[in-house]
Amino acid sequence: MNISVAIMAAGLGTRMKSSMPKVLHTISGFEMLYHIIKEAKCISDDVHVILFHQAELIKEKMSHYFNDVHFIIQDHQNFPGTGGAIMGVEPKYDKLLVLNGDMPLLQAKDMQNFTHFQAEIVMSAFTCKEPFGYGRVIMDSDNRVKKIIEEKDANALEKETKTVNAGVYLFQTSFLKENLPKLTNHNVQKEYYITDLVSLSNDVKAILVEEDTFMGVNSKYHLSIAETLLQERIKKNFMEKGVVMRLPQTIYIEADVVIEGECILENGVSLLKGTKLVNTHIKTNSVIEKSTIKNSSIGPMARVRPDSVIEDSHIGNFVEIKKSTLKGVKAGHLSYLGDACIDEGTNIGCGTITCNYDGKAKYQTIIGKNVFVGSDTQLVAPVTISDDVIIASGTTVTKNIPKGALAINREPLKIVENFFYKFFGSQK
C-alpha cells in the first residue's frame, strides 16, 4: 500500500515509573513497540520509528525482529513533544499515518481503516467514561473538530468532554511540510504537540474508534489492562479454531504460540514464546516454553523448558524437561530430564534425574528404545543407555549400558531383628 507510517517512541514514559523505556514493556511476551511495528509493516514498506530516550537500547531490541524499519532520532532538545517527534520524518509516500508507540492493541486492519477517508487530517477519537490523561476533542456547533486540548492545558469545562483523541492520525504529507514549522510550544509542558496541527487545518475528518483497541498505555495499570485485552483476543482466536480451554481467564498464551489440531488446555496453563502444540492435552498449571509438543499429554504441574521436542508421549506431574527430545516416552512423575534424548517405548520411573551439569558444563543423556528406568535413578551425563535395558530402582548410572543389560548398583539390604526395641526401649 502506498502509505508511510511513523511510530512515535521517543517519549520518556515518566508515568511508567521505570528505568526501562515505556515501549519496551511487554505484553503477551513481546515489547509494545514490537506489536505495533509488526502490524504497521503489514500495511507499509516505509515504516519510521522515532526514538530519543534510550534510543540505542530500543534500536538493538527491535533489530532482532526487523531489519527494514527506519530509526530516526528526534531533536528532543529543541523540539520536545509529539509534534517535534515527526519533524524529522521524510515520508516516501504522499500520506503519512502517525501512531503512538504505546498502542499495542492496534492491528493492521485498524490502521487501514484510516485510508478509506480523504482529508488533510484523518484523526481518531473515542468516548470514554474516564478521559483523564487523554487530549479532549473540542467540536464546534456544526460537530466539526475545532481543536484538541491536552489534559494539562484544559480548563474545567474542556475537561468535562468525554470525547478524546485516540492518538492515530493520517496526514497528507504536503500538509505536514507546510504546517509543522508553524507549531509552537506555548503550553504547560512547553512541548510541540502533534495535536495542534488539527486547529491549523480546515479539512479534518474525525473517525470514531474502539477504546479497547486504541488505548494508550501510560502506566503499569494500563499495561495490565492491555495485557488482559490482548489475552482475550489471542484465546478467542484459538477457541474459534477448535482449541478447548477450561477456565480461559486463568490461561496465559504468548503472542507467537502456534496451536494446531485438537488441543485441550486446562486451567492455569502458560504457553510461552516459541511454543507449538499439535493434538496435545496440557493439564492444570503446566508451563511450556519454546518447545514443540505433538500427540502428547503433559501435566498437571509439569514444566517444559526451551528447546524440547516431545512426541507421542505422556508426561505426568512434577516433571521438568529441558532441551530434550522425547519420542513415545512415559515419564509419569517427579523427574528432571535435561539435555536428554529418549526413544520409543521407554519408561522413566518416578524420581529419575539426569545429572546433566558438573558445575562447569552441560552433558547429554541418551536413552534408547524400550528402556525401563526404575524409580530414583540418577543418570550421570554424559551417558548412553542402549535399547532394551533395565535399570534397577535406586541405581546411579555412571557408565554406558549395552543393549539388553540390567544395571544395578545396590548395597545388599541388611536386616537387624528387634533393633527398634533396643533403640527406643520396650515401652515405645
**Is 150 an interacting residue with respect to Mg ion (CB under 5 A)?**
no
CA angle 75, 77, 79 (to 5 degrees): 60
Select from Mg ion, ligand UD1, none the partner in contact with residue 373, using the beta carbon and a kind-dependent cut-off of 5 to 8 Å.
Answer: none
Cis amide prior to 382 (ω within 30 degrees): yes
Other CB atoms within a 10 A radius of the CB of residue 304 amount to 31
Size of the residue set binding Mg ion (CB under 5 A) = 3
Q: Single out the residue of 27, 62, 106, 194 in contact with ligand UD1 (rule: CB under 6 A).
A: 194
Q: Is 64 noted as a catalytic residue in this protein? A: no
DSSP assignments along 149-200, one per residue: E-GGG--HHHHT--EEEEEEEEEEHHHHHHHGGG----STT----GGGGGGG
Location of C-alpha cell 502490524 = 39
Q: Across-strand partners of 321? A: 304, 337
Q: Does 10 bind ligand UD1 (CB under 6 A)?
A: yes
**Contact flag: residue 74 with ligand UD1 (CB under 6 A):** yes
- List the one residue from 81, 248, 268, 328 that touches ligand UD1 (CB under 6 A): 81
User: What count of Cα atoms within 13 Å lies in the side-chain half-sphere of residue 50?
Assistant: 28
Q: Which of 34, 171, 175, 193 binds ligand UD1 (CB under 6 A)?
A: 193
Task: Retrieve residue 124's grid coordinates.
Answer: 481518531
Rank residues 26 and 82 by Cβ distance to ligand UD1 and give the closer one: 82
**Binding residues among 126-155 for ligand UD1 as defined by CB under 6 A:** 134-135, 148, 150
**Min dist. Cβ of residue 216 to ligand UD1 (A):** 3
Pick from 39, 102, 110, 320 the residue near Mg ion by CB under 5 A. 102
Which residues in the 250-269 window bind ligand UD1 by CB under 6 A? none
DSSP-derived secondary structure letter, 419 = H
Selected catalytic residue, list 53, 222, 314, 333: 333
Question: For ligand UD1, which residue of 101, 104, 299, 374 counts as binding (CB under 6 A)?
Answer: 101
Per-residue binding letters, 150-189, with ligand UD1 (x by CB under 6 A): x-------------xxxx----------------------
User: 390 and 406 in contact (C-beta within 8 Å)?
Assistant: yes
Taking CB under 5 A as the criterion, the residue among 54, 82, 218, 356 binding Mg ion is 218
- Minimum CB distance to Mg ion, residue 197 (Å): 17
Shortest approach of ligand UD1 to residue 304 CB, angstroms? 36
Instruction: List the helix and strand counts (H, then E) for the chain.
Output: 9, 36
d(CA 169, CA 326): 51
The minimum distance between CB 28 and ligand UD1, in angstroms, equals 19
User: How far is 357 from 66, CA to CA, in rounded Å?
Assistant: 36
Grid cell at residue 22: 515505556
The answer to whether 91 contacts ligand UD1 (rule: CB under 6 A) is: no
Q: Using CB distances below 5 to 8 A depending on partner kind, what does residue 339 bind out of ligand UD1, Mg ion, none?
A: none
Strand-pair partners of 337: 321
Cell 521517543 sits at which residue?
A: 10
- Phi, psi at 238, each rounded to 5°: -70, -40
Catalytic residues: 333
Contact residues for Mg ion (CB under 5 A)? 102, 216, 218
- Which residues are near ligand UD1 by CB under 6 A? 8-11, 50, 74, 76, 80-82, 84-85, 100-102, 134-135, 148, 150, 164-167, 193-195, 216, 218
